[in-house]
Amino acid sequence: MLRAVFKITAWLLLIAIIAATIVPIGMRPHSGLGPEPERVAAFLVVGLLFGLAYDRNWILALSVVIVAGLGIADA
């Protein structure tokens, strides 16, 4: 049951990160820390959630996070 919560949360957070990346800069959320710490924190949390959700298939979890990070780096 807890793994299902991690899966749902991980995918929703990844979708939120992608949405926050593709909106215009003026509409992006910011914490005041600057863009680099915000990105690191966001991907740290999403990576942790994917790792917890897919602990038996950590290669899949790692691949999803890396591909997502590289995919939205150009956005």
DSSP string, 26-49: GGS---SS-HHHHHHHHHHHHHHH
CA distance 26 to 41: 20
Check residue 74 and give its pLDDT.
61
Residue range 6-51, pLDDT digits in tens: 999 999 999 998 888 888 877 777 777 877 788 888 888 998 999 9
CA distance 27 to 8: 25
Check residue 10 and give its pLDDT.
92
For 8, the domain range is 2-73
- How many separate domains does the chain show? 1
